[in-house]
Amino acid sequence: MRTEEELAVELRAAGERAPGETDLLAGVALRRRRRTRRRVRTLAAALAVVVLGVGVRSVVLSGGGAGDVASTPTPAPPVPRPVPVERLWPGALSTLPVSGPDGARYQPITAVSPTEILFAALEPGKKGAGRLEVFDTAAGRIRLVTEVPGARRIMMPSASADGENVIWLHSGRSLREIWTAPLGGGAGRLVTTLRGARTDIDRITVNDGWAIWSERRGGVWRVPLTGGTPARVPAGDGLHLLRWPWAGDVPPVRESDERDQRVLVDLSSGASTGIVARPGTTRLRCGPRWCLGHDARGTFVQRIDGSRQRRIGGDPNRPVGAPVLDRFVPFESGVYDVETGTMATIEDDRQVVHGLSGEAGSVVYWVVGGTYRMLNLAAVPSAQ
């Protein structure tokens, strides 16, 4: 996985380029040319593989202290064929130019609601000036959230928003600054400054008037948006933030970390749930209900208790991290819906990019000409 600093470097480089037919993220265009529709056919074939698991019993470990647990997988239902995203979720799609009328380069971040997408606008030639804005997909309008004078210092993977506020990180030499602004619009203000070991943040979010983050070494912290001294979240010692209020015992997205997640903690209550990991599983990452993992045969999803395991293909660029919104797995050429067993494929086999949110972002996008095609996962209809 790329570090936040590497992503920031790529975004700075993207901000200096003029709009064109190429993707804004470094390397996307080259990788797109190397891929063909053959991947989609391969993925479709892989999706057709169903693990019956009849008569198979596996000894698995529970991270909740219950000891070894025997589990008998239930047969998975047949997996439907991949469906173009335009047919599957047309109401969740929207289009945004890759740059604004003033030449500012747009960068999608995350979905704020089923009809709102937060993005950054980096203005070229203005000493790193920029803005955070919201695209109202229902009204087709863009509104300003706040001006960000040092936008090129924003660590874009660390911007996040809830229904009331947006927060972001500014990077500096040996420090991180947490800033906030009202989502409805207003001036940004400094919340707190982190120095030394405290700057090594792997995820950050905002919830109910608090900025909350976890460190790469483990441990969850928070500070009120009104300012003050950061304090540890009592139930978060040694844990990594997933999406508030959930945290786990391993980094949520780190491709080099082969460990399986063994516990899921509700930070709001302190309740802990053990996770069932089968022998041979690597990089198992879980939300409240669903997990994503890998083994020698490819990528699969399962319930947190080890049941309902389902193979979802062998994409060489394997997805990492728990399913987004406890439901979706973004691939390079589509999005898999865990609840329905459907793969939403992307037009012209273009490469899907995940929004650069401080937590598990809920927007994915791809570039078509001079526009972003964006899929708001928060707008996808319920599987019910």
The Cα–Cα gap between 237 and 295 comes to: 29
In the chain, pLDDT over 70 holds for what percent of residues? 73
Mind listing the pLDDT tens digit for each residue in 115-150? 999 999 988 765 666 899 999 999 999 999 999 876
pLDDT at 39 over 60: no
Summarize the confidence of residues 266-290 as an average pLDDT.
95
pLDDT at 233 over 50: yes
5 vs 276, higher pLDDT: 276
Give the model's pLDDT for residue 128: 63
- The DSSP 8-state label assigned to residue 305 in this structure reads T
Domain boundaries, the chain: 4-379
Summarize the confidence of residues 33-45 as an average pLDDT.
38
Both structure tokens of 311: 């193979």
What top-level class would CATH report for the domain 4-379? mainly beta
61 vs 196, higher pLDDT: 196
Burial class (CB in 10 A: 0-12, 13-18, 19+), 235: middle
CB 374 within 8 A of CB 89: no
Handedness of CA 365, 248, 289, 77 (dihedral sign): positive
Which of 91-100, 165-174, 176-185 is predicted with the least confidence, judged by mean pLDDT?
Answer: 165-174
The structure tokens 């704020």 sit at: 112
Long-range contacts of 346-349 (CB under 8 A, 24+ apart): 346/85, 346/373, 347/84, 347/85, 347/86, 347/373, 349/32, 349/35, 349/36, 349/37, 349/39, 349/40
